[in-house]
Amino acid sequence: MAKARILSGMQPTGQLHLGNYEGALRNWVRLQEEYESYYCIVDWHALTTLCETPEQIQHNTRQVAIDYISAGLDPNKCAIFIQSAVKEHAELHLLLSMITPVPWLERVPTYKEKMENLQIESASYGLLGYPVLQAADILVYKANAVPVGKDQLPHLELTREICRRFNYFYGKIFPEPEAKLTEYPVMPGLDGRKMSKSYDNAIYLSDTAETTTQKIRTMFTDPLKIYKKDPGHPETCPVFALHNIYNKGETEELSVVCKAGELGCVDCKKKLTAAMNEALAPIRERRVQLEENPKELDDILTAGADKARAVASATMAEVRCAMKLG
């Protein structure tokens, strides 16, 4: 039996950090074994807010692709490609925009959030209509499932509504994509808030071991543990939360000695640094290889786009036929 198909992607609005890795990439690596997988870098989506220059988007696109591969995505098992290299995304986006009511787009929570957070006075159609492009990204591959977190479910439900509306007007061309819910650990940033590029509190996949060491050294800890002998509260400490992810073997012992006031924050951070750098070493090694051999990256992206384009082209032939176009 043919494998079910999945599609997912990330915007190249900066380099990927550990939150992206634990929240998505690590799961994608597992799913490529189970599904026919398509993973793209959605560079058109990065244009919706005009926050980055074309040169920044171009640079970030390659860096995100490097992160994908370094994290374990295998071009022999999945298609890794840049969204803009497959023009069928844009064609389907145009056609889906003809049947998508504006109120559907205005109710998307992140639309209002971006307007407020980025202080945008007058939104472009691209910002309002990016969920339609997102729907096109998914539907052009007839994806059966999309790996998402719970916070992304409203976006996927809109894709499903657009899918149903198209199928009602023109016949059942697209399967309704199901959510492949992913549970992932809370990834605290250096300041205790959620790890985010916008907060400038992230550890990036591109960071060296030395940079990671320095960042963890300055990381926010338990505010009630001022001296080494003070009892700690590991359940609320951001450093300990990272131990739970990267140093599970010592977690129980560290919790006991921390609560007993037998472990200082400096030593706790040193243990985390050693465990994290060991875990990230293979990713860093692969990153260096790709940085030093840009042709290898180009070949992977070209092959991924060719594979994606073959599927997208076949889908668009069905769409044009159903809509009596061309």
User: 164-186 pLDDT, tens per residue?
Assistant: 999 999 999 999 999 998 777 77
Q: What percent of the chain is modeled with pLDDT above 90?
A: 81
pLDDT beyond 70 at 256: yes
Cβ–Cβ under 8 Å, residues 301 and 80: yes
- Output the average pLDDT for the chain: 93
pLDDT beyond 80 at 191: yes
pLDDT one-digit tens code per residue, 75-111: 999 999 999 999 999 999 999 999 999 999 988 877 7
pLDDT beyond 80 at 118: no
**What number of H helices and E strands is found in the chain?**
13, 5
pLDDT beyond 80 at 50: no
How far apart are alpha carbons 304 and 306 in whole angstroms? Answer: 5
> For the whole model, what pTM was predicted?
0.93
Cβ–Cβ under 8 Å, residues 204 and 15: yes
Amino acid at 139: L
pLDDT at residue number 92: 98
Comparing 199 with 321, the larger pLDDT belongs to 321
pLDDT beyond 70 at 115: no
114-to-3, 110, 118, 124, 156 alpha-carbon distances in Å: 37, 6, 6, 12, 18
Of 3, 87, 172, 194, which is the active-site residue? 194
How far apart are alpha carbons 178 and 201 in whole angstroms? Answer: 33
pLDDT beyond 70 at 117: no
Task: Please compute the mean of the pLDDT values over residues 208-215 and round it to a whole number.
Answer: 97
Q: Is 276 in a helix, a strand, or coil?
A: helix
Comparing 256 with 226, the larger pLDDT belongs to 256
Mode of pairing for the β-strands spanning 78-82 and 5-10: unpaired
pLDDT at residue number 1: 66
Q: What percent of the chain is modeled with pLDDT above 70?
A: 97
pLDDT at residue number 255: 94
Superfamily of domain 5-187+293-322: HUPs (3.40.50.620)
Query: Phi and psi for 56 in degrees, rounded to 5?
Result: -65, -40
Give a three-class secondary structure readout of 167-217: HHHHCCCCCCCEEEECCCCCCECCCCCECCCCCCCCCECCCCHHHHHHHHH
Residues 6 or more apart from 172 whose CB is under 8 A from it? none
Query: Has 114 been annotated as catalytic?
Result: yes
How far apart are alpha carbons 52 and 55 in whole angstroms? Answer: 8
Comparing 203 with 119, the larger pLDDT belongs to 203
Of 114, 180, 215, 269, which is the active-site residue? 114
pLDDT at residue number 152: 84
**pLDDT-derived band of residue 295, with 50, 70 and 90 as boundaries?**
very high
Cβ–Cβ under 8 Å, residues 132 and 97: yes
Fold designation for 209-286: Tyrosyl-Transfer RNA Synthetase (1.10.240)
**Angle value at C-alpha 282, between 276 and 284, nearest 5 degrees:** 80
Other C-beta atoms closer than 10 Å to the C-beta of 214 total: 12
Q: Is 147 in a helix, a strand, or coil?
A: strand
Of 77, 197, 228, 259, which is the active-site residue? 197
- Chain mean position to CA 38: 13
The structural domains of the chain, with segments of one domain joined by +, span 5-187+293-322, 209-286
Considering 13-17, 111-115, 264-268, 307-311, the range whose residues carry the highest mean pLDDT is 307-311
Task: Please compute the mean of the pLDDT values over residues 31-55 and round it to a whole number.
Answer: 92
pLDDT one-digit tens code per residue, 129-153: 999 999 999 999 999 999 988 888 8
